[in-house]
């Protein structure tokens, strides 16, 4: 386990501010539970917090008053939680309305908060989730109910504004680079008589941070990936086919990594009716679309794969620095509660690379909510389908170190919900 942020030692002697609610929101990552472990450990030591309650399945659990108590989790359980990917408590995608327009769900939530004596909220998620944190804060101010609202950063997409990177991204970057390397070895070995072009589709709606991480797989100038296609740069089909043909002539095989949000300049816009609760179009399929284009145009065997959920819960390939920072985000969030802060989101600031030097700061939540950080121009090559050395220096610092979870029969033994206790209301009414 990493070293804790210094805090007051000894038993909790005074719980003046009731319970703290810590909730997961949106997609998962390898580092999500590491943040939870840090927050729970700090809350157990805090004089300001009676118990850190965690809802089952995020906002759905809040609406239904379904909470886990964490005050009795021991160090062994927290150590196992630290190495466990995904969200052991469950998460959800749920868009709350503007509290100035519709307060119905907020009234329900307010009654739950009063019932469980919740006086502070740590909401852990990405840009859409921080919009939810902001809405919570606005509503509680409107009804004059004292709640400290703090946002915690999380997204493998690495597209949150202000923070230099998002916990969870480093582990996903490491997995994508590793998978690209291994798939490239397979493709190269079979290229004389079988597949000559391999395409890996990765997540990234409007920002290409995950696809860019595949560049870390390279060991020299000729190594895969040979084309990296990101949403920040559209490309024509002819331009892509020309690049592939050139690579086939040189090396006999070609490996491509493409963000799910990448668009061809000569593709007709598709129907946007299939959207999620936040209004985002459901993506997926650009890898197969490109494979069909290449196979029909160049007459070479082409295969595609979609990393999909495999790139999110990558505990077996987690980055040690990623989990370390995530843990301290949790600890610092509780420190913010102890210090009386509100309407802030925690951010990571980089002070140096290789090894990464960092510190945790705060910014106003509304600087982050509903905003996206794209790959800057200096991280994208002039030809638009590659990544610069500056990006590799940035990303390489985030994938360092190995995480070794407990194992059973050589398979990771992750945290189980049998460690958790459901909350009894009478125990939390002070």
Residues 6 or more apart from 154 whose CB is under 8 A from it? Answer: 24, 26, 29, 31, 32, 35, 124, 125, 126, 129, 166, 167, 168
Residue 269 is predicted with a pLDDT of 42
> What count of other Cβ atoms lies within 10 Å of the Cβ of residue 427?
13
- The answer to whether 24 and 91 are in contact (CB under 8 A) is yes
For the record, the structure tokens of 374 come out as 């794209």
List, in sequence order, the alpha helices (H) in 46-168. 59-64, 75-82, 104-115, 127-142
- Name which of 27, 29, 25 is nearest 132 in CA terms: 25
- Name which of 306, 281, 142 is nearest 211 in CA terms: 306
Q: What angle (nearest 5°) sits at the alpha carbon of residue 94, between those of residues 91 and 95?
A: 145
For the record, the structure tokens of 268 come out as 């007709």
Tokens 């749920």 map to which residue? 94
List per-residue pLDDT tens for the chain, 430 residues long. Answer: 444 544 433 333 333 569 999 999 999 999 999 999 999 999 999 999 999 999 999 999 999 999 999 999 999 999 999 999 999 999 998 889 999 999 999 999 999 999 999 999 999 999 889 999 999 999 999 999 999 999 999 999 999 999 999 999 999 999 999 999 999 999 999 999 999 999 999 999 999 999 999 999 998 878 999 999 999 999 999 999 999 999 999 999 999 999 999 999 986 444 454 555 545 455 669 999 999 999 999 999 999 999 999 999 999 999 999 999 999 999 999 999 999 999 999 999 999 999 999 999 999 998 998 899 999 999 999 999 999 999 999 999 999 999 999 999 999 999 988 889 898 665 444 3
- The answer to whether 137 and 147 are in contact (CB under 8 A) is yes
Rounded Cα distance, 267 and 254, in Å: 23
Residue 8 is predicted with a pLDDT of 36
> What count of other Cβ atoms lies within 10 Å of the Cβ of residue 361?
14
Rounded Cα distance, 251 and 225, in Å: 12
DSSP state at residue 386: S
Rounded Cα distance, 43 and 12, in Å: 10
How would you label 217-249 residue by residue, b for 16+ Cβ within 10 Å and e otherwise? Answer: bbeeeebbbbbbbbbbbebebebbeebbeebbe
DSSP state at residue 226: S
Rounded Cα distance, 209 and 390, in Å: 13
157 catalytic per annotation: yes
Residues 6 or more apart from 175 whose CB is under 8 A from it? Answer: 307, 310, 311, 314, 317
The CA–CA distances, whole Å, from 208 to 131, 223, 236, 373 equal 22, 20, 17, 10
Q: Which residue is catalytic, options 128, 157, 159, 343? A: 157
- Name which of 397, 414, 396, 416 is nearest 405 in CA terms: 414
pTM of the model: 0.91
DSSP helix/strand/coil, 57: coil
- The answer to whether 55 and 75 are in contact (CB under 8 A) is no
- Name which of 219, 161, 200 is nearest 396 in CA terms: 219
What element of type H or E holds 152? strand 148-153
Helix axis angle for 32-45 and 320-338, nearest 10°, is 40
Residue 430 is predicted with a pLDDT of 39
> What count of other Cβ atoms lies within 10 Å of the Cβ of residue 118?
23
Residue 419 is predicted with a pLDDT of 81
């Amino acid at each position: 386990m990493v070293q804790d942020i210094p805090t007051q030692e000894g038993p909790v002697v005074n719980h003046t501010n009731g319970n703290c609610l810590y909730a997961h929101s949106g997609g998962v990552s390898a580092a999500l539970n590491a943040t939870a472990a840090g927050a729970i450990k700090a809350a157990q030591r805090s004089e300001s917090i009676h118990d850190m309650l965690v809802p089952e399945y995020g906002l759905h659990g809040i609406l239904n008053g379904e909470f886990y108590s964490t005050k009795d989790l021991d160090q062994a359980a927290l150590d196992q939680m630290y190495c466990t990917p995904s969200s052991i408590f469950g998460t959800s995608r749920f868009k709350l309305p503007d509290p100035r327009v519709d307060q119905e769900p907020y009234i329900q939530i307010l009654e739950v908060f009063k019932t469980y004596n919740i006086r502070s909220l740590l909401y852990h998620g990405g840009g859409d989730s921080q919009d939810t944190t902001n809405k919570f804060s606005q509503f509680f101010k409107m009804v004059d109910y004292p709640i400290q609202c703090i946002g915690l950063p999380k997204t493998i997409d690495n597209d949150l504004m202000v923070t230099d990177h998002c916990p969870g991204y480093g582990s996903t970057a490491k997995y994508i680079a590793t998978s690209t390397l291994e798939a490239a070895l397979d493709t190269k070995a079979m290229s004389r008589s079988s597949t000559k072009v391999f395409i890996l589709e990765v997540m990234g709606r409007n920002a290409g941070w995950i696809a860019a991480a595949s560049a870390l797989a390279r060991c020299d100038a000729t190594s895969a990936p040979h084309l990296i296609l990101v949403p920040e740069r559209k490309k024509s089909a002819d331009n892509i086919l020309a690049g592939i043909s050139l690579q086939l002539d040189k090396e006999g095989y070609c490996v491509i990594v493409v963000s799910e949000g990448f668009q061809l300049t000569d593709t007709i816009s598709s129907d946007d009716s299939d959207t999620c609760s936040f209004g985002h179009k459901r993506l997926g399929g650009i890898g197969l679309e490109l494979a069909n284009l290449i196979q029909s145009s160049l007459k070479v065997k082409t295969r595609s794969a979609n990393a999909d959920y495999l790139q999110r819960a990558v505990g077996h390939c987690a980055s040690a620095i990623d989990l370390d920072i995530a843990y301290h985000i949790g600890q610092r969030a509780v420190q913010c509660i102890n210090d009386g802060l509100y309407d802030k989101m925690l951010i990571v600031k980089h002070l140096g690379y290789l090894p990464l030097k960092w510190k945790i700061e705060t910014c106003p939540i509304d600087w982050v909510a509903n905003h996206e950080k794209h790959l800057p121009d200096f991280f994208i090559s002039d030809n638009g389908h590659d990544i610069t050395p500056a990006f590799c220096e940035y990303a390489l610092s985030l994938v360092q170190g190995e995480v070794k979870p407990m194992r059973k029969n050589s398979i990771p033994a992750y945290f189980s919900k049998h460690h958790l206790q459901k909350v009894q209301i009478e125990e939390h009414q002070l």
